[in-house]
Amino acid sequence: MSIAEKLQSKSPRRSGSSKQVRLRLVHVDFWSAMKVSAVLGLVLGVVQLVVVFVMWTLLQVVGLFGKIDEVLRDILAQPDFAITSFLSLPQVMMFTLLVAVLNFVVITVLGAVIAVLYNLSVRVTGGLQVGFANQ
């Protein structure tokens, strides 16, 4: 009989049981939280730009801008009115880029602030307990 077989026969057999490990999250690294939130802000900014471009193109293809032009020409009594002169694709994309950059900054700063607040709250609460089970 080998050593492994002896150890296996000595260990109590528990059927259906699993080993569980409990850990406490007591510190969130400031720079790691800032990097993760910056990447999240960048991804959301790119998604925002793509969605606005697709929506503007879809509205143009469907002809919604033409219908809005007709209604506003009747309301304003100006035969040469065109909404696309105010909402052209470059203007809309530039505004969206500005909003995406502001969102990037806000999300990055919020991620860092939340990490600092969590680290301060751990002193009072003791941290977040997480359980892992090996099945």
Give the residue among 29, 33, 32, 49 at the shortest CA–CA distance from 92: 49
Q: Is residue 96 part of a domain?
A: yes
Q: Is residue 73 part of a domain?
A: yes
Average pLDDT over every residue of 122-129: 88
Q: Is residue 22 part of a domain?
A: no
User: What pLDDT band is residue 68 in, cutting at 50, 70 and 90?
Assistant: confident
> What is the structure's pLDDT at 53?
97
User: What gap in Å lies between CA 11 and CA 14, rounded to an integer?
Assistant: 9
Structural domain of residue 46, as residue ranges? 41-127
pTM of the model: 0.72
Average pLDDT over every residue of 91-98: 97
Number of domains observed in the structure of the chain = 1
What are the tokens at 90?
Answer: 């470059």
Q: Is residue 50 part of a domain?
A: yes
Alpha-carbon distances of 52 from 12, 22, 39, 89, rounded to whole Å:
62, 45, 20, 10
